[in-house]
């Protein structure tokens, strides 16, 4: 018996692949892994508030109509898309467990599987692990903001995803934030909106000068300094925002038909903080070159948890494909069949 075979047979209870996370990256990885007969297990997570909503299926669960994913010429609702992804993965034999992975013990010993600790259940072992837990948008935490974000009421955390929808075209829109991301989102919205207001709680923007100029040079761009959003107005659809001057405390109302929160994202990596996984300067999982390999053998990452630049469904799905292919090749080289 070869060393690789001996290592594999010594851990018969270990799964070949466990996928943590259930957004476009996780489900795509599951589809590829299942079709490669790797018998993947997906821990899809459970709903929680963080402080905004975090749902199994990722950010698309908070998106109404998705128009920029190839193959859906008339668009598709975000939750419906994720349900289709899940059913396709299950069709090929993926096992789905509705639980979170709370902690990981990644092995550094060749042939010894990794140990994962679910929040509600016994530890599980896996020869290969794909981390695809995504990144959550940072929200203001206002009750009406959360309500309208989850019901398609015109509040979003991704202008590139939602800004081109018909409901926003020709309308006054607002972006909350002051960094490069906010400027990029606001500049994108100027293509469609009648006016784009950038609302920033300080007297100067944090964005680079070139990003500021790119936005402010647009004829329909306006910046509101020293203003904080303290309430989102509207019942079924947003009608405006209540602003408070951060210097004087004076309150005012700004009528808008869309509100885009651009105050950053937080990668969902808390459960691997002490696992030995390396992170980049922004706190996202660090990858080797253009593949999905992390610094630990047999551990791969895909989607927004390792992507601070694009954060799109289609790029996440592509990374999920890469992770499954990389895991398959790694398992074959390790003698795991």
Residue 78: closest CA among 159, 161, 166, 173: 161
Burial of 28 (0-12, 13-18, 19+ CB in 10 A): buried
17 and 110 assigned to the same domain: yes
181 and 147 assigned to the same domain: yes
- Judge if the upstream peptide bond of residue 223 is cis by omega within 30 degrees of 0: no
4-18, 183-197, 321-335: which range is least confident on average? 4-18
15 and 109 assigned to the same domain: yes
Q: What is the DSSP string of 73-86?
A: TT-EEHHHHHHHHH
Residue 295: closest CA among 274, 318, 278: 278
Domain count, the chain: 2
209 and 277 assigned to the same domain: no
CB 321 within 8 A of CB 32: yes
Angle, CA of 109, 278 and 41, to the nearest 5°: 65
**Pick from 234, 261, 288: which residue ends a domain?**
261
Q: Tell me, what's the pLDDT at 7?
A: 42
> What average pLDDT does range 190-214 have in this prediction?
96
pLDDT one-digit tens code per residue, 54-93? 778 888 887 778 888 999 999 999 899 999 999 999 999 9
Q: Tell me, what's the pLDDT at 290?
A: 82
**Pick from 244, 261, 278: which residue ends a domain?**
261
* Per-residue b or e along 190-226, where b marks 16 or more CB atoms closer than 10 Å to that residue's CB: bebbebbbbbbbeeebebeeebbebbeebeebebbbb
| Rounded distance between C-alpha atoms, residue 128 and residue 33, angstroms | 11
244 and 132 assigned to the same domain: no
120 and 237 assigned to the same domain: no
pLDDT one-digit tens code per residue, 268-287? 999 999 999 999 999 999 99
132 and 274 assigned to the same domain: yes
Q: Is 232 helix (H, G, I), strand (E, B) or coil?
A: strand
Long-range contacts of 229-235 (CB under 8 A, 24+ apart): 229/140, 229/142, 229/145, 229/174, 229/176, 229/199, 229/259, 230/142, 231/142, 231/144, 232/142, 232/144, 232/145, 232/148, 232/155, 232/259, 233/144, 234/144, 234/148, 234/153, 234/154
| Rounded distance between C-alpha atoms, residue 230 and residue 218, angstroms | 27
Q: Report residue 238: phi and psi, to 5°.
A: -65, 135
At residue 12 the predicted structure's pLDDT band, cuts being 50, 70 and 90, is low
Q: Which of 52-61, 228-237, 282-291 has the highest mean pLDDT?
A: 228-237
Q: Tell me, what's the pLDDT at 5?
A: 40
Task: Indicate whether 318 pLDDT > 70.
Answer: yes
CATH code of residue 57: 3.50.50.60
88 and 187 assigned to the same domain: no
130 and 198 assigned to the same domain: no
| Rounded distance between C-alpha atoms, residue 30 and residue 45, angstroms | 15
| Rounded distance between C-alpha atoms, residue 267 and residue 282, angstroms | 9
Task: Indicate whether 2 pLDDT > 60.
Answer: no
| Full residue range of the structural domain in which residue 49 is found | 3-136+265-334
180 and 294 assigned to the same domain: no
**Pick from 261, 276, 307: which residue ends a domain?**
261
| Rounded distance between C-alpha atoms, residue 175 and residue 181, angstroms | 10
Residue 127: closest CA among 147, 140, 112: 112
317: alpha, beta or left? (left if phi > 0; alpha if psi -120 to 50): alpha
Catalytic machinery residues: 158, 161-162
Tokens of 327: 């895991």
220 and 97 assigned to the same domain: no
Model confidence, pTM: 0.84
pLDDT one-digit tens code per residue, 134-180? 998 899 999 999 899 888 899 999 998 899 999 999 999 999 999 99
Whole-number average pLDDT of the chain: 92
| Rounded distance between C-alpha atoms, residue 266 and residue 8, angstroms | 36
231 and 283 assigned to the same domain: no
């Amino acid at each position: 018996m070869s060393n690789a075979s001996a290592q594999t047979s010594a851990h018969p209870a270990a799964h070949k692949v466990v996928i943590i996370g259930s957004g476009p990256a996780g489900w795509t990885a599951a589809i590829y892994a299942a079709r490669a007969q790797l018998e993947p297990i997906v821990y899809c997570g459970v709903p929680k508030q963080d402080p905004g909503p975090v749902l199994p299926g990722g950010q698309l669960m908070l998106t109404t109509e998705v128009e920029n994913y190839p193959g859906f010429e008339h668009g598709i609702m975000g939750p419906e898309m994720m349900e289709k992804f899940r059913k396709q993965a299950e069709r090929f034999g993926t096992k789905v467990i509705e639980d979170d992975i709370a902690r990981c013990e990644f092995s550094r010993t060749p042939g010894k599987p990794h140990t994962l600790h679910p929040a509600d259940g016994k530890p599980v072992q896996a020869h290969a692990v794909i981390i695809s837990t995504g990144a959550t948008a940072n929200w203001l935490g206002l009750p009406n903001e959360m309500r309208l974000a989850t019901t398609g009421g015109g509040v979003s955390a991704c202008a590139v995803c939602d800004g081109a929808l018909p409901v926003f075209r020709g309308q006054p829109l607002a972006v909350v934030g002051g960094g490069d991301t906010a400027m990029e989102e606001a500049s994108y919205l100027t293509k469609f909106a009648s006016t784009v207001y950038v609302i920033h709680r300080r007297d100067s923007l944090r964005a680079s000068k070139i990003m500021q100029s790119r936005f402010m040079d647009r004829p329909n761009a306006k910046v509101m300094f020293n203003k904080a959003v303290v309430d989102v107005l509207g019942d079924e659809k947003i009608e405006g925002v209540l602003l408070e001057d951060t210097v004087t405390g004076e309150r005012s109302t700004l009528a808008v038909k869309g509100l885009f929160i651009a105050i950053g994202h937080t990668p969902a990596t808390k459960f691997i903080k002490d696992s030995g996984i390396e992170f980049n300067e922004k706190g996202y999982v660090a990858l080797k070159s253009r593949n999905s390999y992390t610094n630990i053998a047999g551990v791969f990452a895909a989607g927004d948890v390792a992507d601070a630049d694009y954060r799109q469904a289609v790029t996440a799905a592509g990374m999920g494909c890469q992770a499954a292919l990389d895991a398959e090749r790694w398992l074959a080289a390790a003698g795991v069949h």
